[in-house]
Amino acid sequence: MHDSGATPGTDVRVVFLTHNYPRHPGDLAGAFLHPLALGLRARGVDVRVVAPSDRGQGGEDVIDGVPVVRARYAAPERERYAYSGAMAEAVRTPGGLRALWSLHRALRREARRLAGKPGEAVIHAHWWIPAGLAAPTDFPLVITSHGTDVRLLDLAPARVLARRVFRRARIVTAVSRHLASRIEDATGRAVGNDHVQPMPVDTAGWEWSRGGGGLVIVARLTRQKRVELLIAAAARLKLPCVVVGDGPERSALEARAAALGGVVTFTGALPFEQARARLLAADVAVLPARAEGFGLAGVEALMCGVPLVVCRDGGGLLDLADPVAARVVDPGVEGVAMGIQQLLQGSSTARAAARTVGERWRERLAPGVVAARFESWYGEALGA
């Protein structure tokens, strides 16, 4: 490791253990983990990734210089829980639990193989389940919770498992204060604000929004995102609205938009640059999701200088709240519409504030800055 001011001078290996990591360059699955791996490798840290096979596509790979091992855990047709967003549902069925147990064993086996000798490597588990649960016990463990794993803590059996996992971790981090608080409430493991760290973003080459395009949301179209609140608010205010993303609720949302007569454009999922272009054209970004783990789309909006509307029960989205650049509203059509109106009425002030806040996020989430923090935590874990 390079010296970051808080780490020992010895070289160590870090094994990312995760159920979600890009399967090829440009893949959106687990894409927010990749900049951290790249930032760490740029600092000289030997980072390797263990992730599940996807429907038979296993083996060893290298993505942008990051070695990745895809662990086979079932017959190809049964390797369907990773990358699909179905991990939470898997714990509720016997067949899903069997597949997760096989996944658990496969991840542990490959993590131990890549880590090498105890004392020379750190396991960094992304999500406490399945990765944290699968982490070999003879290596120091760092856990980062991203959101979906914390929602499982509503289930009593999951809390029992989670307490054991969090108890043996030497370092626990979370991507938002909301998640940190929920982990402490459910498991008793405190995660202080000094261990709240979102994943990094490639912060080079960002521009500032030109505006004029109305409203925008970038989200997976699920019930939890509550996109229907934005569609109804846009129809009420007679404002154009762009919905970037896809998911199981898309058909119902398109029907709702047609019934309300609003000017709503559904783009489907877009590559990052095209999604960012939609943000750069927007006047206001609206993210009415409930209990969000962090809200990367909100950060990206601010990094484009676009003011935000979020809901009071938005979870990690509240980490983005700024008294001028954002409006925190009640989770309903009336509240969302009022927040949009307030930002548009004070448009120049809100946009200037969004640029100021966005500049701070660009600095905070730069891969080198985030990598330095994690590098120091790896050193702390080894020395504990």
| Spatial CA neighbour of 271 closest among 241, 298, 245 | 245
- pLDDT on residue 98: 78
H helix or E strand, kind and range, residue 141? strand 141-145
Q: Are 378 and 1 in contact (CB under 8 A)?
A: yes
Q: Is the pLDDT reported for residue 335 higher than 70?
A: yes
Over residues 283-293, the pLDDT tens digits come to: 999 999 999 99
- pLDDT on residue 82: 79
- Mean pLDDT, rounded, of the chain: 92
Top CATH class, 13-200+366-383: alpha beta
Over residues 251-263, the pLDDT tens digits come to: 999 999 999 987 9
Over residues 296-317, the pLDDT tens digits come to: 999 999 999 999 999 999 999 9
- CATH superfamily, domain 215-364, is Glycogen Phosphorylase B; (3.40.50.2000)
Over residues 87-128, the pLDDT tens digits come to: 666 666 777 777 788 899 999 999 999 999 888 899 999 999
Over residues 16-57, the pLDDT tens digits come to: 999 999 998 888 889 999 999 999 999 999 999 999 999 888
- pLDDT on residue 89: 67
- pLDDT on residue 7: 41
Q: Are 17 and 124 in contact (CB under 8 A)?
A: yes
**Where are the chain's structural domains?**
13-200+366-383, 215-364
Give the Å distances, CA to CA, from 125 to 60, 135, 142, 275: 19, 7, 6, 29
Q: Is the pLDDT reported for residue 80 higher than 80?
A: no
For the sheet with 171-174, list strands across it: 59-63, 66-71, 46-52, 13-17, 121-126, 141-145, 171-174
Q: Are 211 and 315 in contact (CB under 8 A)?
A: no
Domains 13-200+366-383 and 215-364 share a fold: yes
